Structure 1
Amino acid sequence: MLVNARGTAARREPGSGTKLVYFAGGDVFGGVEQMILTTLERIDTRRWEVVLMHYADAEIGPLLCGARAAGIRTLAVARSRGSAALRIMEIVRALRAERPVIFHAHLPLPQYCRTPILAAAFAGVPAVVATAHLFQPLSNRRQATYQRILNRVIDRYIAVSNATAAELVGALGVPKRKVTVIPNGVPVEKFACTRGMRVACNRESSGTVFTSARLHPQKGLGDLVEAARLLPGVEFLIAGDGPLRAELAAKVQGLGLAARVRLLGHRSDVPALLQSCDVFALPSLFEGLPLAVLEAMAAARPIVACDIAGVREAISDGETGLLVRPGHPDELARAIRTLLSDPPLSRRLGRQAGERARREFSAKLMVERTCHLYDELTSN
Structure 2
Amino acid sequence: MDGHTGSHSTDISSSAYVPPVSKSAAAPQTETGLKKVLHLINGEHYSGAERVQDLLGLRLPEFGYHADFACVKPGKFATSRRAQDCQVFELAMRHRFDLWRSRDVVRLVQEHGYKIIHAHTPRTALLAMLAARSCDAQFVYHVHSPTSRDSTRRFTNWVNQQVESWAMFQAARLITVSNSLSRHLASLHVPAEKVRVVHNGVPPLEEVPAREASQGTWTVGCVALFRPRKGIEVLLQALANLRSAGHDVRLRAVGPFETPEYEREIMALVAKLDLQAAIDWVGFTQDVNAELFQMDLFVLPSLFGEGLPMVVLEAMAAGVPVIASDVEGACEAIQSGVDGLLAIPADADDLTQKISSVVSGQVDWLSLRQAALLRQREAFSDRSMASGTAAVYDELLG
Instruction: Find the aligned partners of 2:339 and 2:373 in 1 and give their Cα distance.
Output: 8
Q: Which residue of 1 aligns with 2:15?
A: none
The answer for unaligned runs of 5 or more in structure 1 is 1-12
Distance change (3 Å), C-alpha of 1:226 and 1:15:
closer
1:67–1:74 CA contact under 8 A, matched in 2? no
Distance change (3 Å), C-alpha of 1:283 and 1:93:
same
Instruction: Find the aligned partners of 2:376 and 2:44 in 1 and give their Cα distance.
Output: 29
Instruction: Find the aligned partners of 1:56 and 1:273 in 2 and give their Cα distance.
Output: 27
Deviation at 1:144, TM superposition (A): 7.0
Instruction: Find the aligned partners of 1:135 and 1:113 in 2 and give their Cα distance.
Output: 16
1:181-239 Cα shifts (integer Å, max 9, x gaps): 0000011126x5137x99xxxx9963110111110111111111111111213110010
Instruction: Find the aligned partners of 1:85 and 1:210 in 2 and give their Cα distance.
Output: 41
Equivalent runs, 1:277-356 vs 2, <5 Å: 277-286=295-304, 287-342=306-361, 345-356=364-375
Q: Which residue of 2 aligns with 1:8?
A: none
Equivalent runs, 1:1-380 vs 2, <5 Å: 16-44=33-61, 47-55=64-72, 57-63=74-80, 65-68=81-84, 71-80=85-94, 84-107=98-121, 111-137=122-148, 146-147=163-164, 149-171=166-188, 173-189=189-205, 192-194=207-209, 206-232=217-243, 233-243=248-258, 244-286=262-304, 287-342=306-361, 345-379=364-398
Q: So what's the TM-score if we normalise by structure 2? A: 0.81
Instruction: Find the aligned partners of 1:251 and 1:186 in 2 and give their Cα distance.
Output: 34
Higher mean Cα deviation, 215-224 or 244-253? 244-253
Secondary structure of the residue aligned to 2:100 is helix
Q: Which residue of 1 aligns with 2:9?
A: none
Deviation at 1:253, TM superposition (A): 2.3
Q: Which amino acid aligns with 1:165?
A: S
Instruction: Find the aligned partners of 1:66 and 1:375 in 2 and give their Cα distance.
Output: 25
Secondary structure of the residue aligned to 1:42 is helix
Instruction: Find the aligned partners of 1:53 and 1:371 in 2 and give their Cα distance.
Output: 19
The answer for unaligned runs of 5 or more in structure 2 is 1-29
Q: Which residue of 2 aligns with 1:7?
A: none
2:126–2:167 CA contact under 8 A, matched in 1? no
Q: So what's the TM-score if we normalise by structure 1? A: 0.84
Instruction: Find the aligned partners of 1:148 and 1:83 in 2 and give their Cα distance.
Output: 15
Deviation at 1:82, TM superposition (A): 9.6
1:213-271 Cα shifts (integer Å, max 9, x gaps): 11011111111111111121311001011223332222212321111112210123321
Deviation at 1:344, TM superposition (A): 6.5
Secondary structure of the residue aligned to 2:208 is coil
Deviation at 1:44, TM superposition (A): 1.2
Instruction: Find the aligned partners of 2:265 and 2:161 in 1 and give their Cα distance.
Output: 34
Q: Which amino acid aligns with 1:134?
A: S
Return structure 1 stretches of 4+ with deviation > 6 angstroms.
Answer: 138-145
Distance change (3 Å), C-alpha of 1:37 and 1:253:
same
Higher mean Cα deviation, 217-226 or 368-377? 368-377
Higher mean Cα deviation, 320-329 or 13-22? 13-22
Deviation at 1:115, TM superposition (A): 2.7
Q: Percent identity?
A: 29
Higher mean Cα deviation, 336-345 or 91-100? 91-100
Instruction: Find the aligned partners of 1:31 and 1:14 in 2 and give their Cα distance.
Output: 27
Q: Which amino acid aligns with 1:240?
A: G
Secondary structure of the residue aligned to 1:259 is helix
Deviation at 1:83, TM superposition (A): 5.8
Instruction: Find the aligned partners of 1:344 and 1:145 in 2 and give their Cα distance.
Output: 44
Instruction: Find the aligned partners of 1:142 and 1:267 in 2 and give their Cα distance.
Output: 32
Q: Which amino acid aligns with 1:216?
A: R
Secondary structure of the residue aligned to 1:67 is coil
Distance change (3 Å), C-alpha of 1:121 and 1:297:
same
Secondary structure of the residue aligned to 2:190 is coil
Q: How many residues align?
A: 354
Q: Could you say what the CA RMSD is over the residues aligned between the two structures, in angstroms? A: 2.8
